[in-house]
Chain A
Amino acid sequence: MKAFDAEILLIEDNQDDLDLTLHALKRENLANNILVARDGEEALDFFFCRGSYAERNFDTPPRLVLLDLKLPKVNGIEVLQKVKSDPRTKSIPVVVLTSSKEELDLVRSYNLGANSYIQKPVNFTEFRQTVKHLGLYWLVVNQPAPQGACEPAGQEP
């Protein structure tokens, strides 16, 4: 794997939350490389293989993306919308992990194609548990889309 490929992409600008999440994921040994994007623009550069991620290619997507909605430069909803409307990136599992309790954010996220939506617990232990379980589900139970599945698929067998 190249240096800019990752199994998990965290899109988060809050340092505390980031630390907690990274810690919880590493503790469970769920992934070898975890990449962090700190704002929406960097996230989009990653997804669309441009800017500082120009050497990435669409064939090696992360197995899981954790997306906060409150992001500088480009907000999470917009990132979600762009990623889920492009056939090259729409199959990547994107789980919204946010402190927002807004019903609107919830509905909009699912409508835009978020694979799931999780509210960040305020409690430290619960937060860790949540990250652990979401990691286990999305990296172990869930089957990601096959690599190179970006082209429009053929008919069903």
Chain B
Amino acid sequence: MKNLNMSPAEVLLVDDNPADLDLARDLLIANEHPRQVSAVTDGEDAVAFLRREGRFTSAQRPDLIILDLNLPRKNGWQVLEEVKADPKLRSTPVVIFSTSEAPRDIGNCYRLGANSYVRKPGNLQDFMAVIQSIGEFWFHYACFPRREEQ
């Protein structure tokens, strides 16, 4: 168990596509390494969740954020930028999970401080394999900073 926290890992999924959200959440949860998956469908909710504002006052700070780019209200780049600019949030790894293959999009994400960029595949097998890989690497092998007591 690599997470220095004793409690299960917390993941925040941000995707405006409910189908992808459901599928990703199902895949992430069904795993030997327990994790809690929270999900929001737009960029403003994502930031509010992370800041525990509005209806998210009892939200748990996530260990990992999986973030799509094309989101309503605030888009993924804006969320990324805000997270990485906030000293309280910026140590949280952000994995961009998007269908875009455009080099400019990818380059922008890294420039804004994304930890990882993973292309969302177009077919089921690859989608499942990729979510599996993300879950496995980040929750089995990588370490996260301890979550502060709130």
The reply to whether A and B meet directly (CB within 8 Å) is yes
CB distance from A144 to the nearest CB of B (A): 8
Question: Which applies to chain B's interface (DSSP): helix, strand, loop or mixed?
Answer: mixed
B103 on the A face (CB < 8 A): yes
B27 on the A face (CB < 8 A): no
Nearest A residue to B77 via CB reads A156
A103 on the B face (CB < 8 A): yes
Cβ of A115 and Cβ of B2 under 8 Å apart? no
- Kindly state the separation between the CA atoms of A118 and B107 in the bound complex, as whole angstroms: 24
- Kindly state the separation between the CA atoms of A117 and B140 in the bound complex, as whole angstroms: 12
Cβ of A153 and Cβ of B2 under 8 Å apart? no
Q: Interface size of B by Cβ–Cβ distance < 8 Å?
A: 38
Partner of A107, one of B75, B91, B102, B133: B91
Stretch from B32-40, B54-62, B108-116 that touches the partner: B108-116
A29 on the B face (CB < 8 A): no
CB distance from A99 to the nearest CB of B (A): 12
- Kindly state the separation between the CA atoms of A110 and B145 in the bound complex, as whole angstroms: 8
1/0 contact string of B66-80 vs chain A (CB within 8 Å): 000000000101000
Given contacts A110-B93, A149-B103, contact A133 B140 (CB under 8 A): yes
Cβ of A134 and Cβ of B108 under 8 Å apart? no
CB distance from A74 to the nearest CB of B (A): 23
- Kindly state the separation between the CA atoms of A144 and B92 in the bound complex, as whole angstroms: 19
- Kindly state the separation between the CA atoms of A149 and B141 in the bound complex, as whole angstroms: 29
CB distance from B120 to the nearest CB of A (A): 11
B21 on the A face (CB < 8 A): no
Interface residues of B in 92-150 (CB under 8 A from A): 92-93, 101-108, 110-111, 113, 115-119, 130, 133-134, 136-138, 140-146
Cβ of A91 and Cβ of B142 under 8 Å apart? no
B23 on the A face (CB < 8 A): no
B52 on the A face (CB < 8 A): no
Interface residues of A in 53-109 (CB under 8 A from B): 87, 90-91, 93, 103, 106-107
Closest 8 interchain pairs by CB? A146-B103, A91-B110, A149-B107, A110-B91, A137-B137, A145-B110, A143-B117, A107-B145
- Can you name 25 A-B residue pairings with CB atoms under 8 Å? A91-B107, A103-B145, A106-B146, A110-B91, A110-B93, A111-B91, A116-B116, A116-B137, A118-B141, A137-B136, A137-B141, A141-B118, A141-B134, A143-B118, A146-B106, A146-B107, A149-B103, A149-B107, A149-B110, A149-B111, A153-B107, A156-B75, A156-B104, A157-B102, A157-B104
- Chain A residues with a Cβ under 8 A of chain B: 87, 90-91, 93, 103, 106-107, 110-111, 113, 115-119, 130, 133-134, 136-138, 140-146, 149, 152-154, 156-157
- Chain B residues with a Cβ under 8 A of chain A: 2, 4, 75, 77, 87, 90-93, 101-108, 110-111, 113, 115-119, 130, 133-134, 136-138, 140-146
- Given A118-B142, A144-B117, A157-B105, 5 other A-B residues pairs in contact with their CB atoms under 8 A: A87-B111, A110-B91, A116-B137, A117-B142, A133-B136
